[in-house]
Structure formats: structure tokens, C-alpha cells
Chain A
Amino acid sequence: MHMQDAKEVLKLRDICLRFGKAEVLRGVDLSVKQGEVVVIIGGSGSGKTSLLRCINLLNVPSSGSIVIDGETLFDLDRSGADKAGLKPAQVNRIRAQTGMVFQQFNLFPHMTALQNVMEAPVTVKRQNRQEVEKRARDLLAQMGLDQHVDKRPAQLSGGQQQRVAIARALAMDPKVMLFDEPTSALDPELVGEVLKAMVALARSGMTMMVVTHELGFALEIADRVIFIDQGLIAADGPPEQVLLHPEHPRLKQFVGRFHETADLLRPFLEGKTAAATH
């Protein structure tokens, strides 16, 4: 990869987030380059979701700064002085440059798949309806959903819903896509179709930040893996280094659990493939 000279799409500096007394993020610095795929791992409650939600201000940090493609979305120093001073309309516009995919899909249940994808470009960007519809149909086709454009979310499987959600986010032409455990709510047999769509998206050059427990996916597609522990980035490096040769003690423990389950399953998996080839 030639990431050295690619431009920065996202820059977080010293992000802190508090819920009441609880310090959930304690100073996260991170920059993501154009086309980079960053996988975020970490234990439950470590702050992964919180970090993603800070990037589009669904959670408002108590301090820190967020710059998306050169535009400052948020800038509050630890003394509380607001250096960005943005109006809500400006925040909405910059925020629309990120796309988010949620664990629970969060599709709009009163709209069809097509209407879900068309909603934001028409309502927020006021783009021409015919052009938006054409683009939305293309995106849904790209997600393998040509047959389902006129169905409502309730008529779709979890995997199909999540792919509609990806298309909905892509319709706004985001500079960076944020995925929060996009396959955790899916039945195991549906995980593959969503991961496949995400791999294709990554290969097409989309900048992505992905919170996931699918370490195989991370090894396959990530440029970097970040391990979050107690609200801080505890490890940050290429996937082989972070996942296969962890140094940080808690990261070792965390990755070890996955290796253990993989080891436990191996005989079964191998037996199964052996049986299948006979």
C-alpha cells in the first residue's frame, strides 16, 4: 500500500468523552488517510461505539477536535473554549460527509428500500429526484438487492437490511464510512453476504472505520488494526502485528480468546471440509 502520500480524510485530536462522571474516552488521537481501512477492536465497554459516534457528533465529546477532509467539525479545548463555533446547519453539512452503519441497521420502517436510500440526498442535499433514484437503484444493485428495491425493511432479512443500510449511507457520497459491529446482530449464515459487500467497498477505495469482532475480516482487509482499552488507543498497527504478534498484555489476552475459540473449532471445521470433499 502507498498510504504515505495519501491525504488525511479524518483527524481526531485528544478526543475525550464523559457520560456524567464516567470517562469513556480519555484522549484519543487518530488520523485516517484516504482509502485506508481501519479496524477497531476492544473489549465490551472499552469505548469503540462511543469513539465512532464522536466522529459524526452523535456523541458530543467533552473536548478534542475533529477534522473531516480539511473541515473542522468540532474543536473544544480542555478548558471548554469552543474554537470551531459552528452553527447546527454547518455541523449537519460536515456530518453528512461521514456515513454510518449501525449494529441494528436502523432502516426507516415506513419506507421501502429504495426510499430509504433516496431519503437523504433528496431531503438534505435537495438533489434532483430522478437522478437520485437512478443512483439509488445502482447502489442497491451493487449490494445485490435489485430484486428487493420496493420492499419494506420488515420484509427483508437482516443481511439484506444491513446491505440497504450500507447503500443508504453511500448515497450521500461520504468521505469516510463508519461501521459499528455491522454483522453482530445477524444470524451466522447471513454474516458472509454483508462482509462480502464490505470487502468490495474497501477494494473500491472507500475509506472505512470498522468496529468488528470478525478478526478474519480484519486480517483480510484492514490496513490498520486499532485496539481500544479503557478509552485509550492501546495498540495501533498492521493487522499481522496487532492480531498475530500482540505485545500489549490486555491485547494478548483479548486476541488469545479468539485464537482459543478458533483452535477449539479447528478439528470440527477441518473434519467438516474433509467430509465435504469426499
Chain B
Amino acid sequence: MTFDWTVVTSNAHLLWQGFLITLYYTVTTIVAGLLIGLVIGLIQLSPFRPLVWLGRLYVEFFRNIPLLVIVLWTYYALPIFLGVNITKGWAGFLALSFYVGSFYAEILRAGVQSIDPGQTDASTALGMSYGQRMRRIILPQAFRRMVPPLAGQSIIQMKNTTLLSMITVPDLLYQGSYISSFTYRPMEIYTAIGLIFVVVLVPLTLLSRKLEKAGMVTK
């Protein structure tokens, strides 16, 4: 069989619209997910047992349920439980943010716990409070170690936004299936979409490698 790339070029505007939607959800859910991850991660590191359990519960819940189920459930079931209307955009945003937030929380927790307890000893002995220790001593060191896993999870997040197409959010993948439905050339369309992801994500991967190396130098 031969590839007919004209179906891609002639529908480039649709792919472009989809690409912007994909980018939009990638960025917004990563930002929201980082905030969620920070809160849940710190909760899990707190000295209060019940809070720790609450954090664990959150993380295990969102980490162990397939994202597709979370997306579909948020869109179809949540509005019924809460008795409110949620647009597909909001449902997708919430599902993706809560999901990635649980992974970020784990990265934060592991990053903080990987710091030598001697750092806590030294800062405590100097009279620093819990908040001062975290802000000045522990988190700055932990963040450096967290850059590679955070970058990795964020790259996965961009790919995960393709599940939005299942609730008809017009992302890149949704546009792809739409174009295929009238051109009957899914091979070319999906190959192009795959390439778009590669072109965006490979440079980001390289950038995170660079950051990782820079972090090692300052350690």
C-alpha cells in the first residue's frame, strides 16, 4: 500500500486545532496536578497519622484505577452523584489533574524522603521550625532530585491527554478519528499524529536530561 499524505496536508487546520487543545490540556493539567501533588505530598509527610492515611488513600485510589475509567466516570457518573452539570472539558481537566497529581505526590514524597536525615537533624538543631526546614533545606534539595521523574511523568501526561477523545473533547486524537471518518485514511492520519508527539516530546526529554545533569553538578 502507498501512503497518501495529501489527506494530512489538506486537513492540517483540523490537526492544528486538535494540537492546540492537546497542548492546552497538557499544560493546565500539569499545573493543577503539581499543586495537587504538592498538597498531597506534604500531607503524606506530615507528622499527623490521619492526614498521612488520607494522602495515601488519595494516591492509591488514583494511581491504581485506569485513567480511562477515571475520565469516563468523571464525565458520566460524577455529575449524577453531585447533582451538577459538568462540561466534558471540565470533566477531562479534573480527571487528568487528579490522576497526574497522585503521581506527582509520590514523586515529591520519595524525593523528600531520599534526603539524608542528617539534614533534618542539622536544621532542627539550629532551631529551625518544620516549615523553615522544609522551605529552606529539604525541598530545595528534593526538587533537584525530582526534576527527572517530574519530567518523565509530564511527558506521559501529554500522551495521556489523548484519552480525552473518548469523551469527545476535540483533541489531536479526536480530530484524527474525525478526519479518518471521511477520508478513510487512518494510517496516514495516525502516523502524522504520532510524529507530532515525537517532535514535541523528544526535545523536552533532552531538556530534562540537561536539567538532570545540571542538578548533579550543584549537588
Contact = CB atoms under 8 A, between A and B. Distances in A.
Given A106-B116, A106-B119, A172 B219 contact: no
Interface in B118-169: 118-119, 121-130, 132, 136-137, 140-141, 144
B218 interface: yes
Contacts of B121: 53, 58, 100, 102, 106
A89 B129 contact: yes
Interface string B98-122: 0000000000000000001011011
Interface residues of A, number: 29
A92 B219 contact: no
A120 interface: yes
A53 B140 CA distance: 26
A56 B123 CA distance: 12
A154 B219 contact: yes
Contacts of A89: 129
Nearest to A56: B125
Interface string A85-116: 00011001101101110101011111000000
Interface in A104-147: 104, 106-110, 119-120, 123-124
Contacts of B129: 88-89, 92
A119 B141 CA distance: 15
A168 interface: yes
B156 to A, nearest CB: 28
Given A110-B144, A154-B219, A123 B122 contact: no
B127 A119 contact: no
A104 B124 contact: no
B213 to A, nearest CB: 15
Chain A residues touching B, majority SS: mixed
A53 B125 CA distance: 9
Contacts of A107: 122
Contacts of B136: 119, 123
B218 A152 contact: yes
Contacts, number: 66
A104 B120 CA distance: 13
Contacts of A119: 126, 136-137
Contacts of A102: 118, 121-122
B127 A92 contact: yes
A152 B219 CA distance: 9
B139 to A, nearest CB: 10
Contacts of B137: 108, 119
B133 to A, nearest CB: 10
Contacts of A123: 128, 132, 136
Contacts of A124: 126-128, 132
Nearest to B119: A106
A89 B127 CA distance: 9
Nearest to B117: A106
Contact of B127 (A95, A106, A109, A165): A95
A11 to B, nearest CB: 19
Interface string A160-202: 0000010011001000000000000000000000000000000
B126 A168 contact: yes
Contacts of A109: 141, 219
B111 to A, nearest CB: 14
Smallest CB-CB A-B distances: 7 pairs: A96-B127, A106-B122, A106-B118, A120-B126, A100-B125, A124-B127, A92-B127
28 contacts: A58-B121, A58-B124, A88-B129, A92-B127, A93-B127, A96-B127, A99-B125, A100-B122, A102-B121, A102-B122, A106-B116, A106-B118, A106-B122, A107-B122, A108-B137, A109-B141, A109-B219, A110-B140, A110-B218, A110-B219, A119-B136, A120-B126, A123-B132, A123-B136, A124-B126, A169-B126, A172-B126, A172-B127
Given A104-B118, A168-B126, 15 more contacts: A56-B124, A88-B129, A88-B130, A95-B124, A100-B121, A100-B125, A102-B121, A106-B121, A107-B122, A108-B137, A152-B218, A154-B219, A165-B122, A169-B125, A169-B126
Interface of A: 53, 56, 58, 88-89, 92-93, 95-96, 98-100, 102, 104, 106-110, 119-120, 123-124, 152, 154, 165, 168-169, 172
